[in-house]
Amino acid sequence: MTDTATPSPLSGLKVVEFTHMVMGPTVGAILASLGAQVTRVEPIGGDRTRDLRGSGAGYFPMYNRHKSSICLDLKHPSGKKVARELIEDADILVENYRPGAMDRLGLGYEDCSASNSRLIYSSQKGFLPGPYENRTALDEVAQMMGGLAYMTGPPGQPLRAGASVIDVTGGMFGVIGILAAVEERHRTGKGQKVQSSLFETTAYLVGQHMAQLAVTGASAKPMPVRVSAWAIYDVFETKDEPLFIGIVTDALWKKFCDIFDFEELWSDGSLRENNARVAARGKIMQQVCAIMKTMTKAEIIAKLDGTGIPFAPISKPDDLFNDPHLIASGALEKVNMPDGTQTALPALPIEMDGQLVARDASLSTASANAAQILTELGYSEEGIKELVADGATQIDQ
């Protein structure tokens, strides 16, 4: 599943994946994008995530590229036997089933490591071991419990972030743990169990706000009403469309005043340092907002582009398909969908040796690679037919 024309640092590593939704598939997606051979084990009929609609419709194509697929009935003795053979041949196992589910199937860490001592067994859960570990968690549950929703919405109106940030970040921490375990295996020859979780991931992300209390003695306020660290760090109304501008250093403040002819503000020597500007934010914003409303977004961008001053138009996800930078940098990879259509989706945002880790992909249909996978495990054509007839697997034609 790898393209030798692009960086493949994990080429040669075999991954078997028992996952659904976002967090677990993210782990496999990152490993696959880095060149690992990833085999998804799906239930008969395919992962139900394939058919989600609404806000979940993009989960499967985004987080399951560059992977092979085989459908197995893990409760069928023959289906479980194939799964065990895949695991015994693997370097890494990734799973995000409910706590205890893999153990009940006889595919828990203790069972699998007994026959493959080099196996790195990566579990993605709602919570790490502790009082909450058997609770069912979702990205939104973790955001609510972990303080992120409180910080995102206005006071009294907790609001989840606009993407599955905890699922994806939790998956990233899973990959970090896996790669650390791979490095340790180089020294010890042994695998281990690695876990990442939604709740603890959220706590890590809001840690800056916890530390704020330790530093200032005051609790962090939700972001919409926070006291910003900078006087200008806002979305401004223009003649047409809004624009974000952030002035985060004293040098940028001088440059900003020069560009927009804020002579009065610059001549006020008491505003030359950041903390003084924060104290005088009301005065500063009144003048800045008035000027911004007299120009179009394009006119302001023309003044700011190339100056080093942070700015950003307010884009929708749809706008990224035609973003000139993403297109020019190759950060969107072509993806062939199961229905024959083609789209472009963000590649792994990593450059190695001067080249992005990006390659065109085809999204496998459910069990599309079953025959090849079983053949590589040593099954004859007749043996494969018997597995299909028994209902242990299926072959996607």
If you count them, how many residues does the chain have? Answer: 397
> What is the DSSP secondary structure assignment for residue 108, as one 8-state letter?
S
What CATH number is given for 14-205+330-390 in this structure? 3.40.50.10540
Taking the C-alpha atoms of residue 125 and residue 57, their distance in angstroms, rounded to an integer, is: 22
Q: What is the pLDDT of residue 1?
A: 46
Average pLDDT over residues 104-131: 98
pLDDT in tens, 165-190: 999 999 999 999 999 999 999 999 99
Q: Are 367 and 46 in contact (CB under 8 A)?
A: yes
Q: Which residue type does 349 have?
A: P
**388 pLDDT tier (thresholds 50, 70, 90):** very high
Average pLDDT over residues 370-386: 97
**396 pLDDT tier (thresholds 50, 70, 90):** confident
φ, ψ at 334 (rounded to 5°): -70, 135
Q: What is the pLDDT of residue 397?
A: 55
Taking the C-alpha atoms of residue 396 and residue 364, their distance in angstroms, rounded to an integer, is: 10
Between CA 109 and CA 116, with CA 114 as vertex, the angle to 5 degrees is 90
3-state percent breakdown (helix, strand, coil) of the chain, nearest 5: 45, 15, 40
Taking the C-alpha atoms of residue 159 and residue 165, their distance in angstroms, rounded to an integer, is: 13
- To the nearest whole number, what is the mean pLDDT of the chain? 96
* Residue tagged 């025959």 (tokens): 371
Taking the C-alpha atoms of residue 216 and residue 97, their distance in angstroms, rounded to an integer, is: 41
What are the start and end residues of each CATH 3.40.50.10540 domain in the chain?
A: 14-205+330-390
Q: Are 128 and 204 in contact (CB under 8 A)?
A: no
3-state secondary structure of 244: strand
Nearest by Cα to 69 from 1, 115, 22: 1
Does residue 226 surpass a pLDDT of 80? yes
Helix (H) or strand (E) holding 386: helix 381-390
pLDDT in tens, 39-94: 999 999 999 999 999 999 999 999 999 999 999 999 999 999 999 999 999 999 99
Does residue 394 surpass a pLDDT of 90? yes
DSSP H helices in 89-206: 101-104, 109-115, 139-145, 148-152, 165-188, 198-205
Taking the C-alpha atoms of residue 40 and residue 18, their distance in angstroms, rounded to an integer, is: 6
pLDDT in tens, 295-344: 999 999 999 999 999 999 999 999 999 999 999 999 999 999 988 899 99
Average pLDDT over residues 332-358: 93
Q: What is the pLDDT of residue 3?
A: 52
Does residue 2 surpass a pLDDT of 80? no
- Can you read off the two tokens belonging to residue 114? 């007994």
Q: How far is CA 186 from CA 9, 89, 159, 180, 192, in A?
A: 15, 17, 44, 10, 12
Taking the C-alpha atoms of residue 13 and residue 29, their distance in angstroms, rounded to an integer, is: 14
- Can you read off the two tokens belonging to residue 378? 């040593």
Residue 108 CA neighbour count, 13 Å, CB half: 9
Taking the C-alpha atoms of residue 365 and residue 278, their distance in angstroms, rounded to an integer, is: 55
Taking the C-alpha atoms of residue 287 and residue 201, their distance in angstroms, rounded to an integer, is: 41
Does residue 242 surpass a pLDDT of 70? yes
Share of the chain above pLDDT 90, in %: 95
Between CA 73 and CA 81, with CA 79 as vertex, the angle to 5 degrees is 150
Q: What is the pLDDT of residue 353?
A: 92
How would CATH label the architecture of 228-316?
2-Layer Sandwich (3.30)
What are the start and end residues of each CATH 3.30.1540.10 domain in the chain?
A: 228-316
Q: Which residues contact 290 (CB under 8 A, 6 or more apart)?
A: none
Q: Are 224 and 154 in contact (CB under 8 A)?
A: yes
